[in-house]
Chains A and B, each alone.
Chain A
Amino acid sequence: MLFALAFLALGAVVTLLINHHDPIVSWLGAGSVVVAAVLGSIPAVQVMAGSSLVERFRMPWPIPMGEFFIEIDPLTAWFLLPTLLLSALSAIYGVGYLRRWQGRRGLGPVWSFYCLLVLSMTLVLLARNGMLFLFAWEVMAVASFFLVTFEHESESVREAGWIYLVATHLGTAFLLAFFLLLARDTGSMDFTVWAAKGVQAQRLASILFLLAVIGFGTKAGFMPLHVWLPEAHPAAPSHVSALMSGVMIKTGIYGLLRTFTFLGAPPLWWGWGLIAIGLTSGVLGVLFALAQHDLKRLLAYHSVENIGIITLGLGAGLLGVSTGSPVLIVLGFGGGLLHVVNHALFKGLLFLGAGAVLHGAGTREIDHLGGLLKRMPWTAATFLIGAVAISGLPPLNGFVSEFLIFLGAFKGGISAGGAIAVPLFALIAGLALIGGLAAACFTKAFGIVFLGEPRSEHASHAHEADWTMRLPMLILAVGCILIGLFAPVVVGSLKTVLENITKLQPATVSGNLAATTSPLSFIVLGAALFLTLLAVLILLRRHLLARRRVEADITWGCGYAQPTARMQYTASSFAQPLTDLFGPLLGTKKKISPPHGLFPEEAALKTTTPDISHEQMYRPVFERINEWLSRLHWVQHGKVQLYVLYIAVTLIVLLVWKLR
């Protein structure tokens, strides 16, 4: 593991040094990430397989209360594997994706920060010391900030980077308070001490829980705290968005899970709170996604939605812990954890696909695309797999994890009283709604982008991505299918990590997991049958049509003499019934100038859906703060002498105050 970390650090330094040697710097950067990923996966897989050989390394670190203490336990390993996999694949993809900038600017910094981001994410997962964790957390935030602002020439990218930086630091502020309170209570910064002692005082535990939810939730993207996601993800280069959305935001979930191991027995309202957060994030996330016109922004909102689903799983698990219901614990946490991996796979895949579209067609506007299925068959096929997976349809992987959460909520809800059953049934209803809306949203995204006819010049000249970009997408797509098809096996592998975090008897865990095997196998079998049937039908059709002449016409041609691409459905029109239904929640603004007269000449429709919490919550608050602080503007006058005077006066006042 240490070798892996060293490789990443080396990559970060070397790529920075050979800034301008274009193809070499890309391959070196990607190469060091891939090597590190391979090296790092080995111990992680060993731990997952239940090996007693837990890797552990400690070294003194000259920072107050700090120690370089890293360890791989099953929880870390579970998050580490998708992180390393997606990092490596995105790095390979990045080689092709960044080729566009070759010669125009040095690619050293972007690769250096990429290595640094992977390094810091790995360290966040490995760290067992509070200071080390916070340190890695900050490096992660800063490295990703520089990656987001890669295209800093554009105003909107700088704005996005700024929002991200502010949001992530506000989150860190809460985490700092969280760690300091924990350290004061236990007198140590050591995770193992925290986990062993636990927090005894119920009130303190609840305060810590709230701090952790806000702090980690900002990174994960819980609904009112998610504002940076829809800004930063579209702004970043696509392979970075894939990495950030696929795994970086999961460090927030990891932090929360790790926190639960410190805090002792949870009261009921923690579970309720998480379920409420999950429902808000999930439902609102997918609704806002439905209303977007920018492909990557749409995907960013889907990250909010999926984080919501994961949180639902965690909430159900916490309810289980409070009430001592093993089935809820196992299936709730298990579903949430599995969804972490699944989301890393399919969201990584979708962002890479969106990047390929952007790369090939030069635009992210859904309404300017169309007909890419014929021009970019590989991208289209893998994107379709990702879309089906994220909509939670069998037999792909998204279905498996959502199914676990469903099953847990059903089983837990039926046998429990009102206080447990009500949130659980709300969870079931909400999850079903989320799944349906996600399917609608991806029908829109896939249909408008890849089907039909090109809606603009850009789209009609789109070209397929090269192999460095296709290969990662292909691997991720295969991963989605494999997890779906081998669902019972994958669910079984949750055993180690669940035993690790829930402290339940191994027999209880495996018993509850085994109970899901039969319905899962049944569904997988059904899906396999369906796919076979489909394949047979396709073959049959081909056979029947083999001797006949088949005429292909443009899509939506409808036999018109001169059909145009503008006669097609657009993204807005496709989503309109749903966005109208949820209008009060979304606050979509429409500007319509309807056609007039018998031969109308001009007509226009423009819809925008600004983020509700950004507009209603943060903007007023930040404007007020800005107004208030601008009164202090006279302090900054540009006179060097007075600046030094400030320092001198501060020093003297402190000195005199101390000596008094």
Chain B
Amino acid sequence: MQGTNIILVLVVLTNLKLLGSSRVGSSIRVVAAQGVVLGLLPILAHAHEISWRYAGLAVGTVALKGIVFPWFLFRAVREAEVAREIEPFVGYVASLLAGVSILAVSFWMCTRLPMPEAIASAWLAPVAIFSIFAGLFLIVSRKRAVSQVLGFLVLENGVYTFGVGVAPQASLLVEAGVLLDVFVAVFVMGITIFHINREFDHIDTDRLSSLKD
């Protein structure tokens, strides 16, 4: 129980850090750290019944989220030569404040949501929802394609948090499927970023509106 809560707090803190940081490189590192921490979650949340399934899920998560994705993103960033997010739609301080209010709203929401009995921690659902909304917020408020990929990863981390927390109820197979989806998505996005950069000399998604129908 204690370990789970520490992880959840770390997740909240990393999310807030992401909302408030402008450097792309450190953001990737933060997301990687969040991935590693979350990789430990299935083991800690179900400490009383360690099984191969949870161990496998943990290893897979750490490998993908902690190593493969960051490596991909660093490569994309290096090729596109972006160091920092510039002129986001919402400023960093404002983002932080928004993040805190999202956190509050998430906790309020979870008082109203019907929860399954065997949930690992009372904080699990609010933190999961907070991650989802924080990810969406990142996607909406940032301009760089890389930042949006990061937002997408955070969103998925939220889904993952909830999925692992209630793993006995939700099938692990689903979780593995989501992981695979994300892998493909990040793969595609990495390639897309590279190509956008090559065609347009920038990766500012708000300037891609000329591509619309």
Contact = CB atoms under 8 A, between A and B. Distances in A.
A640 B109 contact: no
Nearest to A652: B133
A641 B89 contact: yes
A641 B109 contact: no
B91 to A, nearest CB: 15
Contacts of B109: 655, 659
Given A655-B109, A659-B109, A659-B112, A638 B212 contact: yes
Contacts of A593: none
B133 A640 contact: no
Contacts of A644: 136, 139-140
Nearest to B151: A644
Interface stretch (B12-20, B55-63, B160-168, B201-209): B201-209
A639 interface: yes
B128 to A, nearest CB: 13
B213 A640 contact: no
Interface in A113-151: none
B87 to A, nearest CB: 13
B136 A640 contact: no
A638 B209 CA distance: 4
B211 interface: yes
A54 interface: no
A518 interface: no
Contacts of A154: none
Contacts of B148: 640-641
Nearest to A660: B112
B141 interface: yes
Nearest to A636: B212
B209 A639 contact: yes
B2 interface: no
Interface residues of B, number: 21
Contacts of A641: 89, 139-143, 148, 205-206
A640 B143 CA distance: 9
Interface in B103-120: 109, 112-113
A636 to B, nearest CB: 6
Interface in B128-177: 133, 136-137, 139-143, 148
Contacts, number: 42
Contacts of A648: 133, 136-137, 140
Q: Is the interface of A mostly helix, strand, loop or mixed?
A: helix
B136 A637 contact: no
A652 B148 CA distance: 20
A406 B90 CA distance: 77
A645 interface: yes
B136 to A, nearest CB: 4
Contacts of B51: none
Nearest to A656: B109
A641 B206 CA distance: 7
A56 to B, nearest CB: 33
B8 to A, nearest CB: 21
Given A644-B140, A645-B140, A638 B112 contact: no
Interface string B182-213: 00000000000000000000000110111111
A637 B143 CA distance: 15
A27 to B, nearest CB: 35
A636 B139 contact: no
B53 to A, nearest CB: 23
Interface string A624-660: 0000000000001111111011011001100100010
Contacts of A636: 212-213
A655 B148 CA distance: 23
Contacts of B210: 638
Contact of A638 (B89, B143, B208): B208
Contacts of B205: 639-641
A659 B209 CA distance: 36
B115 to A, nearest CB: 13
B139 A637 contact: no
A639 B207 CA distance: 8
A640 B208 contact: yes
Interface in A600-642: 636-642
Nearest to B212: A638
Contacts of A645: 140
22 contacts: A636-B212, A637-B209, A638-B210, A638-B211, A638-B212, A639-B205, A639-B209, A640-B205, A640-B206, A641-B89, A641-B139, A641-B141, A641-B143, A641-B148, A641-B206, A644-B136, A647-B136, A648-B133, A648-B136, A651-B136, A655-B109, A659-B113
Which 8 residue pairs are nearest across A and B when measured between Cβ atoms?
A638-B212, A638-B209, A659-B112, A648-B136, A645-B140, A644-B139, A640-B205, A641-B140
Interface of B: 89, 109, 112-113, 133, 136-137, 139-143, 148, 205-206, 208-213
